[in-house]
Amino acid sequence: MLLEGSSVVGHPKSRAAAHWAGVLVWVVALPLAWYFLHDGAAAAVDGATPMRFGLSVRALLELAAGAAALAFALWTASRSSLGSFVVGVISVLAGLPFLVAPAAMNDAVGPLLDRLTAHSSLGATLSAYWWADAISGKFIAFGLFMIMVGVVSHQARRAGRREQEIIDRVRRA
């Protein structure tokens, strides 16, 4: 063996690329998932008769797109938990003022949401979803969930690393 008995410890490969890619995916995929899941759910119940089930192709496609974007973002947490931490913290920080000071937030964000609503039907839809989630505390709940996804992902990766170190030590002994 070339380095048998060596006490030099190698350095692990840099994870910077995985971290930056994770943040990028989460920042792009989560808002898409949020919108498609909201709009798909709205399309599924729009015009539906109470206590009757129907089929809406648009709703199914939007729900599938939202689920795919969410699944992709969650999958990236297996590579880096930084994206879920970043999106979770942003979501909590964005949602907290709406629960603590709703009148002040209405004064601050209301005109922007009004302009967005007047701009287009997409703007009106985004405004309605944003306001409903902000004032109901869903942004905070979603943010805490994303932070916990990051915690679980990070702890699982570290536990796997420790387990591999033990296996490697046993093999060397």
**26 and 76 Cβ atoms separated by less than 8 Å:** yes
Establish if 6 belongs to a structural domain. Answer: no
Question: Going by C-beta distance under 8 Å and a sequence separation of 6 or more, which residues neighbour residue 106?
Answer: none
CA distance 30 to 125: 17
CA distance 151 to 85: 8
Looking at residue 8, what is its pLDDT? 54
**150 and 88 Cβ atoms separated by less than 8 Å:** yes
Looking at residue 1, what is its pLDDT? 47
What's phi and psi for 12, nearest 5 deg?
Answer: -65, 155
Print the domain residue range for 47: 17-172
Number of domains forming the structure of the chain: 1
Report DSSP state, residue 34.
H
Single pTM value for the model: 0.76
Establish if 1 belongs to a structural domain. Answer: no
Angle at 107 between CA 131 and CA 87, to 5 degrees: 45
**149 and 81 Cβ atoms separated by less than 8 Å:** yes
Looking at residue 95, what is its pLDDT? 93
Looking at residue 5, what is its pLDDT? 58
DSSP secondary structure string for all residues of 74-143 = HHHTTT-SHHHHHHHHHHHHHHHHHHH-HHHHHHHHHHHHHHHHHH-HHHHHHHHHHHHHHHHTHHHHHH
Nearest to 134 by CA among 161, 110, 117: 110
Establish if 10 belongs to a structural domain. Answer: no
Establish if 11 belongs to a structural domain. Answer: no
Question: Going by C-beta distance under 8 Å and a sequence separation of 6 or more, which residues neighbour residue 155?
Answer: none
Establish if 5 belongs to a structural domain. Answer: no
Establish if 7 belongs to a structural domain. Answer: no
Nearest to 35 by CA among 100, 112, 125: 125
Chunk the chain into consecutive blocks of 10 residues (it has 173) and report each block's average pLDDT, rounded to whole numbers: 55 73 84 93 78 80 95 85 89 94 90 89 90 92 93 86 85 81
Establish if 55 belongs to a structural domain. Answer: yes
Establish if 159 belongs to a structural domain. Answer: yes
